[in-house]
Structure 1
Amino acid sequence: MTVQILLSTYNGEKYISQQIDSLLSQSYSDLDILIRDDGSNDGTLDIIEMYMSRYPSQIRLIRGKNIGVINSFFELLREARTDAQYYSFCDQDDIWKKTKVEVSILKLMEQNNNKPLLFCSATQLTDSKLKEIKVWPQRPGKALGFYNALVENVVVGATITINRKARDGLIKCVPDNENIIMHDWWIYLFISAFGEIIYESDPTILYRQHESNVVGGNKTFLDILLRKFMSFSENRGRRLLYKQALEFWKCYGDKISGGNKEQLRLFLDERESLVQKLVFLKRSKLYRQNFLGNMLFKMLVMVGYI
């Protein structure tokens, strides 16, 4: 079963060699690598071309214009091999553990392949020199599903592997990417609505934290609280959660059903008055993964930030 790795690059000369080496060293051998470069102006393309000369049957390159990470990954999905069984997303500055692909495929093969499937995992957070910091994120405390995906993303894009059914479904609708918060969040929404999520608590990649890629894995409690509040506050005017949910409705509203459809419509309903906000909170089944997140979510609904 062929696995195609979808790698988006942009000015990644500092770390790209280590990442490609980790892909080529995977214990699972039936794979190839599709790279889309998003308009690099450093030595990234020279490094990729060097690897292509060594592995011409395994690596293919799309030279693209700078369209941003979300658009770049959606273009990779559209240009991916139609005969591959699985597709793995890849960032340029991480390192995959040797069994990353093998673990992903074995977990996915245990499921019903006639529906969209997504595998994801925790990561081993490291500093720029690969010194281990901690496992991040922590294992989700609640189920990974659509009621969570509407208001929170817990899927790390660099750990995602999906099956062909998921890929085919994702490319049937071309969303307005201006309304998508991140490509991995959109994928979490889609597959939680129509398929199944498989989560692995053991890290499958080394997730490098550096000056150009700072994630929230090494923060204090107060840092996390402030970061969450500021994130919601900064996005209030743009209503990003609402816009993403509305875009999902435009793409898949005629296909989604049952409780998922009911909760999506409820989330999109107007709630300007105090009564409307209270009714929403009473009827809503949406949730974030921890107590702090849920309390913050409810508070921001009441003050009109969501």
Structure 2
Amino acid sequence: MSDQDDIWVAGKVNAVLELFELNSDISLVVTDCKVVDNSLNDIYPSYFKIRNSSSGFIKNLYKGGFHGCCMCFNKKVLNKSLPFPNNIPMHDWWIGLVAEMEGQTFFLDKPYLLYRRHGFNASSASENSTNSLFVMLKVDLYFLCI
């Protein structure tokens, strides 16, 4: 779930697998990332800091800290997440919220990805990006009904 020009930092897979092995209650791990420009110069040294990312269902329902290219989750979360509902605004947000309900999420405060931002990205990243009130209410109602 990342753009083809994002760069994984060495050790990412081992660090995440180690967390899953150490704690079987963890259902999803999110690593931090550096937001960089096309020349790999830092734009933001921590995605977690600009999004105020951390665990918590209500917190992430309001403003998701889940970033698909930085996520790893277990099979239970995968099975509960699929198929994606038609009305979700972002699939990584959906998976993260499902993980919050199914187990424990862990936010690893180490950047294991260089998240390249330029005019041709498939997704957007902004310190001010939020969902419209209407979309948030629709998703809130959806979760109340499941």
Task: Establish whether TM, by shorter chain, passes 0.5.
Answer: yes
1:188 aligned onto 2:96:
yes
Separation in 2, partners of 1:189, 1:246: 14
1:135 aligned onto 2:78:
no
Q: 2:137 aligns with which of 234, 242, 246?
A: 242
CA separation of 1:208/1:175 partners in 2, compared to 1, >3 Å: closer, same or farther? closer
Amino acid at match of 2:85: D
Amino acid at match of 1:131: N
- Shift in Å, 1:211: 0.6
Separation in 1, partners of 2:53, 2:66: 13
Greater fraction strand:
2
Greater fraction helix:
1
State percent identity of aligned pairs: 27
Tell me the residue number matched to 2:18.
Answer: 106
Tell me the residue number matched to 1:202.
Answer: 110
Q: Summarize deviations over 1:151-201 as a string: whole Å, max 9, x none.
A: 110111110000122112222xx3432x21101111111111121111111
Q: Do the aligned partners of 1:175 and 1:247 also contact (CA within 8 Å) in 2?
A: no
Tell me the residue number matched to 1:95.
Answer: 7
Query: Normalising to structure 2: TM-score of the pair?
Result: 0.83
Tell me the residue number matched to 1:211.
Answer: 119
Separation in 1, partners of 2:37, 2:14: 26
Structure whose alpha-carbon radius of gyration is higher: 1
- Shift in Å, 1:111: 1.2
- Shift in Å, 1:141: 6.0
Stretches of 4+ moved more than 3 A in 1? 138-143
Q: Which has the higher contact order (CA 8 A, sep 6+)?
A: 2
Separation in 2, partners of 1:176, 1:166: 15
- Shift in Å, 1:143: 5.0
